[in-house]
Structure 1
Amino acid sequence: MQKPEAEAAAAPGKSVRVIKKYPNRRLYDTDSSSYITLAEVKALVMRGEPFVVRDAKTGDDLTRSILLQIILEEETAGVPLFSESMLANIIRFYGHAMQGYMGSYLEKNLQLFMDFQKSMTDPSKGWTPELWQQFMGMQAQVMPGMNAFAQMQEKMWEAMGVKRN
């Protein structure tokens, strides 16, 4: 059995929280010795706490399926993150020769986006709306498909209450 990514990525000295999934679909947190909900697992994700979900009988790693379940609940609960067109395009990559590349591409670009978002909200980094606009202008020249990224950036500024010209 391979080590799950959460176990491999845990900081040295920091243990990975183990959550057991029982046949009755209940989740048991071995750290707190209590049953937890999917919402509480989502809270672990939001806090960046490493965890792994294991089948209580077989020990199989179920982490991905639990994360997908959280995404499904989020997608059906409110304003979806993924459009139908985007989901259809992702599905088309399954079984395609580029499947591995697509997963890696999405992961790296999402991490890049999260890093930029974090640096934007960090006052010590000095990101201003003007600097961000200059950066996005350079990116649009390098990558013509950045228009969607620029639109997301505009929405972030609006959400932060920053007035722009």
Structure 2
Amino acid sequence: MTQSEEPSTQPRLIKKYPNRRLYDTHTSAYITLVDVKQLVLDTAVFQVVDAKSGEDLTRSILLQIILDEESGGMPMFSATALSQIIRFYGHAMQGVMGTYLEKNIQAFMDIQDRMAEQSKGMYGNQFGPEAWTQFMNVQAPMLQNMMSNYVDQSKNLFVQMQDQMQDQTRSMFSAFPFKPPVPPSDKDK
């Protein structure tokens, strides 16, 4: 393997110019959001930066791709789900929510990969994209039930964790001489 053939540890650099055009420095060509989406689908590691300031714009470009996809025919998120996500911004649990979503998406992808590997083991490579789509359509209710059970278990685990944290906080602060607030009596009114 020559020096030029070695895989780069640096992310593929895409520069965004003021005219809103994206320039892929790897291919030395202008690209579109569709091309960036394909990089994501190909699991390419890339970074989008402002050509002038060097500011990292990767997240905003990815959000733009999600917006385009959500505006298409089959959105992934309901208005309710999006509203609930928005409510977490500025909330004390914002960081926890981001990590929670990321971990759950990764768990879902792991399940999907495992199912694909198992299908290859049973059917070899003859299980093409069309057959996989049909299989998933048939299995969708079962998968939704499985995911619902997973979410319920996750919710219960989170409630247990919250209870444990509350108990630990109580025991930690019980050593301090705080007096509990006294509710006002009828005389004080």
Q: TM-score normalized by structure 2?
A: 0.61
Letter in 1 for 2:87: R
Which of residues 17, 21, 32 in structure 2 aligns to 1:26?
21
Change (3 A) 1:92 1:33: same
> What's the CA shift string for 1:65-122, capped at 9, x where partnerless?
0000000000001210000000000000000000000000000000000000110111
Question: Identity across aligned pairs (percent)?
Answer: 57
For residues 141 and 99 of structure 1, the distance between their equivalents in structure 2, rounded to whole angstroms, comes to 19
Which of residues 64, 68, 90 in structure 2 aligns to 1:69?
64
Task: Report how far residue 15 of structure 1 moved.
Answer: 3.2
Correspondence 1:38 to 2:33: yes
The residue that corresponds to 1:156 in the other structure is none
The residue that corresponds to 1:79 in the other structure is 74
Asked whether the equivalents of residues 119 and 125 of structure 1 are also in contact (C-alpha less than 8 Å), the reply is no
Correspondence 1:110 to 2:120: no
Change (3 A) 1:62 1:14: same
Change (3 A) 1:125 1:105: farther
Q: SS at 1:89's partner residue? A: helix
Which of 1 and 2 has higher RCO (CA within 8 Å, sep 6+)? 1
The residue that corresponds to 2:153 in the other structure is 143
Which of residues 55, 68, 93 in structure 2 aligns to 1:60?
55
For residues 69 and 144 of structure 1, the distance between their equivalents in structure 2, rounded to whole angstroms, comes to 30
Number of equivalenced pairs: 129
Unaligned runs of at least 5 residues, structure 1 = 1-11, 146-165
Q: SS at 1:52's partner residue? A: strand
Q: SS at 2:15's partner residue? A: strand
> What's the CA shift string for 1:20-66, capped at 9, x where partnerless?
00000000000000000000000000000000000000000000000
Unaligned runs of at least 5 residues, structure 2 = 1-6, 123-138, 156-189
